[in-house]
Amino acid sequence: METTLRGVGVSHGVAIGEIRHMGTAVLEPPAKQIPADEAEREQGRARQAVEAVAADLIARGNLAGGEAQAVLEAQAMIAQDPELIADVDRRIVVGSTAERGIYDAFSHYRELLAGAGEYMAGRVADLDDVRNRIVARLLGVPMPGVPDSDEPYVLIARDLAPADTALLDPTLVLGFVTEEGGPTSHSAILARALGVPAIVALPGAGELAEGTLIAVDGSTGELFVDPSEEKKAELTQAAAARKAALASSSGPGATSDGHKVPLLANVGGPADVPAAVEAGAEGVGLFRTEFLFLDDSKHAPSEEKQIEAYRKVLEAFPEGRVVVRVLDAGADKPLEFLTPVDEPNPALGVRGLRSLLDHPDVLRTQLTALAKAAEGLPVYLEVMAPMVADRTDAKAFADACREAGLRAKFGAMVEIPSAALRARSILQEVEFLSLGTNDLAQYTFAADRQVGAVSRLQDPWQPALLDLVALSADAAKAEGKSCGVCGEAASDPLLACVLTGLGVTSLSMGAASIPYVRATLAKYTLAQCERAAAAARAADTAHEARLAAQAVLSGE
């Protein structure tokens, strides 16, 4: 009998297939004492396992490239954390085996993260995965990971670690469903990059029996258990219609009556550029520069290294617009040379622009590198600061850009409600706004973007979030300046129409989403988008907002 479950759709497409569950290893080693003369040997075993796992994560990242590479390199840094290794050594000296020392040290660190505020707690899944991989290697048991199968299947897991998601084989894994996670979690972002239909935050999915036939709609978040032939035909037909629309869509983003909405790509480094170009991106709306700084958490990259990486991206978009976000460190992206240690709540502490203003030499080097990278290129370079709270922040950033001799537009990200509420004030200092809807939702609703239990509050369809978008867009229009969206909200084709109706002037997203958004925008006039936006803002819940917008655009 067909039943329907609902989670959060995070990656477009339809997958119909049998369930396979994520495999796990026996990960808690026995607690036994070792003689003192074996301590040195056990410490050596522990270090070898740590280095092997770190090397494997880096190798997986090199294979995957792009955003996945940065995520996996960050996991490798977790494995090699000096404080963790020192804790393991201490536990072995007092009698623990290598595997038990790793297990207990990571468990202690896990408790610290879980109690360090919502933002840091969202990294527990990444920490668990690193621990499991090291312990599995020491115990000689299979690594936790994607099941072996000769036939295509739909993968179900409690959560997916980045190391697993990054190397999923789309020819075998038709789609995936997780019980935890959120629309802006690492797994969701990587799923969109892979083009694999996915649903997250679906409690109870793990209880579905192995081999059960299901249908996954990554656009709506619906999972159909034992779908009828009619339902399968309906979903297949809808998927075919979307595919046909994609094939016929090309050129710049625009509504059906010619209102231009540039469609830009979010990139994490040079490796993401080919996919963006292939998808027809009109430029880059968010160039995350963190990937350069994650290689070495103790030292900032040299000016020369930065120039080389930035120029590769800028050269790919001649006559195009490239918006670079300066280093956004802190909270879940700590860097030893930049961010404070032991902050009680890093997400509300010194992160983003705050960190850079505390270390002006790091900001100056990055801005100088960007200026030099753009020399002689016909690119429209724009540089923006993350976590801008008010006009004082915006002025400090604009002054730093000018002092570095940067010939570019200076902008501010709107990720904090105060920035949306006072957007017109901020625009007295900068030339454009860019809405980071992921963090803006997180701070508006006090809901960590990595915690599945509060995922409904991370839904970008929340009317309160749409209100803040409208405030920002109205302020930019009044000042004759631009206001784009570079958060994951832009990757939802229907929401892209609503954002356009709210007055947003450009949309930036993962490359895989650009064709979907282009095709959907081209179906509706600007007036229809404006009516859909008004209907969505008049709703009381995210679900009602989506339904209201759908009703307007479908002519109901």
* Per-residue pLDDT tens over the stretch 40-92: 999 999 999 999 888 888 887 777 676 667 777 777 887 888 888 999 999 99
For residue 41, the model assigns a pLDDT of 93
| Residue linked to tokens 């709609």 | 217
Q: Could you give the CA distance from residue 121 to residue 9 in angstroms, rounded to a whole number? A: 23
Q: Could you give the CA distance from residue 443 to residue 446 in angstroms, rounded to a whole number? A: 5
For residue 120, the model assigns a pLDDT of 45
For residue 118, the model assigns a pLDDT of 44
Q: Are residues 156 and 22 in contact, defined by beta-carbon separation less than 8 angstroms? A: yes
Q: Are residues 119 and 2 in contact, defined by beta-carbon separation less than 8 angstroms? A: no
- pTM of the complete model: 0.69
The reply to whether 529 belongs to the active site is no
Q: At 280, list the tokens.
A: 């027809």
Cβ partners under 8 Å of residue 361, min gap 6: none
Low-confidence ranges of the chain (pLDDT < 50): 26, 117-122
SS3 of 428-449: the string is CCCCEEEECHHHHHHHHHCCCC
**C-alpha distances in angstroms, 149 versus 169, 172, 467?**
11, 8, 47
Q: What are phi and psi of 120, to 5 degrees?
A: -70, -35
Strands 506-509 and 153-157, bridge-based pairing: unpaired
For residue 117, the model assigns a pLDDT of 46
For residue 312, the model assigns a pLDDT of 93
For residue 158, the model assigns a pLDDT of 84
What integer best gives the mean pLDDT of the chain? 87
DSSP state of 330: B
Helix residue ranges, H only, 198-340: 229-248, 273-278, 290-293, 303-315
Catalytic residue among 359, 401, 483, 486: 486
Q: Could you give the CA distance from residue 84 to residue 106 in angstroms, rounded to a whole number? A: 7
The reply to whether 186 belongs to the active site is yes
Q: What is the edge-to-edge ordering of all strands in the sheet holding 173-178?
A: 3-6, 222-225, 213-217, 14-21, 153-157, 173-178, 198-200, 8-11
**Shortest CA distance to 462 belongs to which of 480, 446, 473?**
446
Catalytic residue among 186, 359, 401, 497: 186
Please report the sign of the dihedral spanned by the C-alpha atoms of residue 141, residue 143, residue 148, residue 153: positive
For residue 81, the model assigns a pLDDT of 84
Q: At 362, list the tokens.
A: 């790091």
For residue 66, the model assigns a pLDDT of 66
Q: At 213, list the tokens.
A: 């036939």
For residue 114, the model assigns a pLDDT of 60
Please report the sign of the dihedral spanned by the C-alpha atoms of residue 250, residue 255, residue 256, residue 260: negative
Q: How many CB atoms lie within 10 A of CB 149?
A: 13
Give the distance, in angstroms, between the CA of residue 186 and the centroid of all CA atoms in the same chain: 5
For residue 115, the model assigns a pLDDT of 56
3-state secondary structure of 501: helix
